């Protein structure tokens, strides 16, 4: 089975196989959440070339090196083929074929071209890992094409709308069914080349007769931007090679996931490739929290974009309520077919507030919380008025949109909310970790109210509400059986959904766990049913619904485990924190140092390496952010706003595998900081 390769720039991307062909139901060239090319297959004398080697060069470019198959007229391996592909605002492909034999060769080179203009969500539903493709909406039929021989380009027009795909060729060809064909004759060692520009044309846009020069310019610019990103972010040197390699790969992956959103084209992280190259409230907020070590710009961009997208009206069709932070944004045909904005996440709103307060702590810049005061107040009102729909003091969700998500916490698959015996919980559901997010959000907003907004009355009210929530939460969610733990959720009857899950780690991070419960929670997270040896399972192996291959009921999600590490560090549990962090980094080694969105939850003693989850997104933003966060946590780095400096909270000796580690170029409070580990001690100094 051919491997899948994704090339992208922002939300414009190409999914193809390792030969460069677009031939599968879920492959294509996408722009504005619309598939502008659903088939692109290269053939020589009717046969597809064979793979030599291929791969991404940068996130926006790839190369494919191929050889010809034996076609009768063409001897085996007589032609070498190189395909170079670039994705910017359009897609450019350069094909070079060379006769490597000692005889003159004549053959037909053809490129099959089709476009169905399917929306990205319809295409995504044919991805077997995300559901049952046999139940998915049928894909549209390919649209008709028009070949303008005088201008050497092909236009594929969507009959259902005002979308077009323009394919500009560097030399004339002829249409042969669904392919453009070229007659090629090559003497020994002679070469032949073709450049093909694929351009999405939307609405009133005017087709470009020749975009090659513009796309070449984009390629050069993007190369400069990628180089600038690599220079601007902190550098990690020395110490454990595994940690260093995972950190460096995360920098590359996060660079690929940068995009711009909103009216002012603010920079932020997309959620992940290939299906989530857009703004996701929860993912964007968590990734921004994980990566504050890299500087505040992307966190500020995320805050501004999420505030701009905040719901102002009640709209059941998209699960929107005043003050709620967006879950997912779509454009183009996806917006027409499904939604432009969807608000079905119960945690995006408190996480937006947590990110706002945490960004302020790293910068001590009052500008952002002053600018976002009204969105923050609206978010707080949503928590109390709409989030807590039944007035029981907990935030819960129930789907209102016909096509909305059944489950609206981070474990948003339809079967994720289960009791210990496997029964499904019924909505409205109050997820356990969301109560922790609300607790942390109110504490953070209380600090902003007092220090920035100068509203003492609001600060005191929020502090009282947070303290009351902490007490109420412990009484409602604590399960005394099986060693004591926090339930996954409360269901419609306010019964504890008593599966043991990784969500407890989020509670440690948020600070809502009373000190007398911390030890029990740590024991649960590191117990054999939850700790796989590579990471913390989403569900304990002794729960009825557990499966190591269930998306949210037994797999390991790196970001989820990393938040537990954050919670362990917050409570001074450095030994367990290092054990879990090391397991994640060792897992990264088996994924070419790029942690995937999720991997299987098999026990480490049962498998020689972590088992991949089918078609998990990679890179995926909060998985890519995990090694960045782990470096911060292992070094105990935290902003000290009162003294305007970066500090370390590590008081014991660090393990030998961190000795010699040095991080340069961390930015906090508008200045640069360096951190070094020498003989088990962490030293922080200003300057590179």
If pLDDT is split at 50, 70 and 90, which confidence band does 180 have?
Answer: very high
Per-residue model confidence (pLDDT) at position 679: 87
Torsion 441-622-25-148 (CA) sign: positive
3-state helix, strand, coil in the chain (%, to 5): 35, 25, 40
Per-residue model confidence (pLDDT) at position 207: 64
Segment 4-48, tens digit of pLDDT? 899 999 889 999 999 999 999 999 999 999 999 999 999 999 999
Say if CB 539 and CB 501 are below 8 A apart.
Answer: yes
Q: Which helix (H) or strand (E) holds 281?
A: helix 281-290
Distance of CA 408 to the CA centre of its chain: 17
- pLDDT for 279 beyond 90: yes
Say if CB 30 and CB 36 are below 8 A apart.
Answer: yes
Per-residue model confidence (pLDDT) at position 209: 65
Per-residue model confidence (pLDDT) at position 2: 61
Say if CB 668 and CB 640 are below 8 A apart.
Answer: no
Residue 170 and residue 198: Cα distance in Å, rounded? 12
Q: Where are the alpha helices (DSSP H) in 383-527?
A: 432-451, 456-477, 503-510, 515-525
- pLDDT for 129 beyond 60: no
Residue reference for tokens 């399972």:
537
Mean pLDDT of 288-295: 96
Distance of CA 67 to the CA centre of its chain: 35
Least confident window among 147-161, 252-266, 346-360: 147-161
Q: Which helix (H) or strand (E) holds 323?
A: none
- pLDDT for 264 beyond 90: no
Q: DSSP code of 387?
A: I
Mean pLDDT of 386-396: 96
Backbone angles phi, psi at 230, to 5 degrees: -65, -35
If pLDDT is split at 50, 70 and 90, which confidence band does 651 have?
Answer: confident
Specify the 3-state DSSP secondary structure of 617. coil
Sorted by where each starts, the structural domains of the chain and their CATH numbers stand as: 4-222 (2.70.98.40), 233-634 (1.50.10.10), 635-688 (no CATH)
Segment 29-40, tens digit of pLDDT? 999 999 999 999
The CA–CA distances, whole Å, from 12 to 33, 35, 153, 597 equal: 8, 10, 21, 20
Q: Where are the alpha helices (DSSP H) in 484-609?
A: 503-510, 515-525, 558-570, 574-589
Q: Which helix (H) or strand (E) holds 288?
A: helix 281-290
Q: Is the previous residue joined to 46 through a cis bond, with omega within 30 degrees of 0?
A: no
- pLDDT for 262 beyond 80: no
Segment 316-347, tens digit of pLDDT? 999 999 999 999 999 999 999 899 999 999 99
Per-residue model confidence (pLDDT) at position 151: 63
If pLDDT is split at 50, 70 and 90, which confidence band does 579 have?
Answer: very high
Q: Is the previous residue joined to 573 through a cis bond, with omega within 30 degrees of 0?
A: no
Per-residue model confidence (pLDDT) at position 132: 64
Distance of CA 130 to the CA centre of its chain: 15
- pLDDT for 1 beyond 60: no
Q: Between 466 and 174, whose confidence is greater?
A: 466
Per-residue model confidence (pLDDT) at position 140: 84
Segment 462-504, tens digit of pLDDT? 999 999 999 999 999 999 999 999 999 999 999 999 999 999 9
Q: Which residues of 558-597 are buried (b: 16+ CB within 10 A; e: fewer)?
A: bbbbbbbbbbbbbbebbebbbbbbbbbbbbbebbebbbbb
Work out the burial of residue 100: count CB atoms within 10 Å of its CB; fewer than 13 is exposed, 13-18 middle, 19 or more buried. Answer: middle
The CA–CA distances, whole Å, from 41 to 28, 37, 76, 179, 249 equal: 11, 11, 20, 9, 31
Segment 442-463, tens digit of pLDDT? 999 999 999 999 999 999 999 9
Per-residue model confidence (pLDDT) at position 481: 94
pTM for the complete prediction?
0.93
Angle formed at CA 387 by CA 279 and CA 478, multiple of 5 degrees: 105
Nearest to 416 by CA among 521, 324, 543: 543
β-partners of residue 156 are 145, 165
Segment 400-415, tens digit of pLDDT? 999 899 999 999 999 9
Residue 373 and residue 488: Cα distance in Å, rounded? 32
Least confident window among 158-162, 425-429, 607-611: 158-162
DSSP secondary structure, 112-181, as one string: EEE----BHHHHHTT-GGGS-GGGSPPPPPPPPEEEETTTTEEEEE-TTSSEEEEEEESS--EEETTEEE
Segment 78-101, tens digit of pLDDT? 999 999 999 999 999 999 999 999
Residue 582 and residue 592: Cα distance in Å, rounded? 16
Cβ neighbors of 231 (< 8 A, separation 6 or more) are: none
Per-residue model confidence (pLDDT) at position 263: 75
Q: Between 205 and 54, whose confidence is greater?
A: 54
- Other CB atoms closer than 10 Å to residue 467's CB: what's the count? 13
Per-residue model confidence (pLDDT) at position 131: 59
Say how many residues make up the chain. 688
């Amino acid at each position: 089975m051919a491997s899948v390769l994704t090339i992208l720039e922002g939300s414009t991307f190409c999914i193809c196989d390792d030969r460069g062909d677009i031939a599968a139901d879920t492959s294509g060239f996408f722009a504005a959440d619309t598939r502008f090319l659903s088939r692109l297959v290269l053939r020589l004398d009717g046969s597809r070339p064979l793979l030599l080697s291929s791969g991404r060069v940068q996130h926006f470019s790839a190369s494919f090196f191929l050889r010809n198959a034996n076609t009768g007229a063409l001897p085996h391996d007589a032609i070498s083929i190189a395909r170079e592909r670039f994705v910017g605002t359009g897609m450019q492909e350069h094909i070079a074929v060379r006769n490597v034999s000692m005889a003159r060769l004549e053959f037909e080179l053809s490129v099959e071209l089709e476009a169905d203009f399917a929306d990205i969500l319809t295409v995504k539903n044919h991805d077997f890992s995300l559901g049952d493709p046999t139940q998915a909406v049928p894909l549209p039929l390919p649209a008709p094409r028009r070949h303008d021989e005088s201008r050497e380009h092909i236009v594929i027009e969507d009959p259902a709308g005002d979308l077009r795909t323009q394919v500009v060729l560097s030399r004339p060809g002829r249409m042969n069914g669904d392919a453009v064909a070229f007659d090629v004759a090559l003497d020994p060692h002679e070469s032949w080349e073709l450049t093909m520009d694929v351009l999405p044309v939307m609405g009133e846009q005017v087709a470009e007769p020749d975009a090659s020069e513009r796309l070449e310019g984009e390629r050069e610019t993007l190369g400069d931007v990628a180089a600038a990103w690599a220079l601007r972010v902190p550098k990690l040197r020395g110490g454990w090679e595994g940690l260093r390699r995972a950190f460096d790969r995360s920098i590359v992956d996060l660079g690929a996931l940068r995009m711009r959103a909103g009216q002012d084209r603010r920079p932020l992280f997309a959620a992940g490739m290939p299906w989530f190259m857009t703004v996701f409230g929860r993912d964007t907020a968590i990734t921004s929290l994980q990566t504050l070590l890299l500087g505040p710009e992307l966190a500020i961009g995320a805050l501004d974009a999420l505030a701009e997208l905040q719901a102002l009206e009640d709209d059941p069709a998209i699960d929107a309520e005043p003050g709620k932070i967006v879950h997912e944004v779509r454009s183009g045909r996806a917006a027409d077919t499904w939604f432009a904005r969807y608000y079905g996440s119960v945690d995006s709103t408190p996480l937006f507030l947590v990110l706002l307060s945490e960004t302020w702590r790293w910068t001590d810049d009052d500008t952002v919380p002053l600018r976002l005061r009204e969105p923050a107040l609206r978010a707080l009102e949503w928590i109390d008025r709409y989030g807590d729909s039944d007035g029981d003091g907990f935030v819960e969700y129930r789907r209102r949109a016909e096509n909305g998500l059944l489950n609206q916490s981070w474990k948003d698959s339809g079967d994720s909310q289960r009791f210990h015996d496997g029964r499904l919980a019924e909505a409205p559901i109050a997820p356990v970790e969301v109560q922790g997010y609300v607790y942390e959000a109110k504490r953070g907003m209380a600090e902003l109210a007092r220090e920035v907004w100068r509203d003492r009355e609001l600060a005191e009210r929020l502090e009282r509400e947070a303290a009351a929530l902490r007490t109420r939460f412990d009484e409602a969610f604590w399960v005394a059986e099986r060693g004591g733990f926090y339930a996954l959720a409360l269901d419609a009857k306010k019964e504890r959904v008593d599966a043991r899950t990784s969500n407890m780690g989020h509670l440690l991070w948020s600070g809502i766990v009373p000190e007398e419960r911390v030890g029990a929670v740590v024991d649960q997270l590191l117990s054999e049913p939850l700790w796989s040896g590579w990471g913390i399972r989403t569900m304990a192996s002794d729960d009825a619904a557990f499966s190591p291959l269930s998306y949210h009921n037994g797999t390991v999600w790196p970001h989820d485990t990393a938040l537990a590490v954050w919670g362990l560090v917050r409570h001074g549990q450095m030994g367990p924190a290092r054990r879990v962090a090391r397991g994640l980094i060792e897992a990264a080694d088996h994924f070419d140092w790029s942690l995937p969105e999720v991997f299987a939850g098999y026990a480490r003693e049962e498998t020689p390496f972590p088992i991949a989850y089918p078609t998990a997104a990679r890179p995926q933003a909060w998985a890519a952010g995990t090694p960045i966060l782990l470096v911060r946590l292992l070094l105990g780095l935290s902003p000290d706003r009162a003294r305007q400096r970066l500090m370390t909270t590590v008081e014991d000796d660090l393990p030998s595998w961190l000795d010699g580690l040095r991080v340069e170029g961390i930015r906090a409070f508008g200045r640069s900081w360096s951190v070094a580990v020498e003989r088990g001690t962490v030293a922080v100094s200003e300057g590179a």
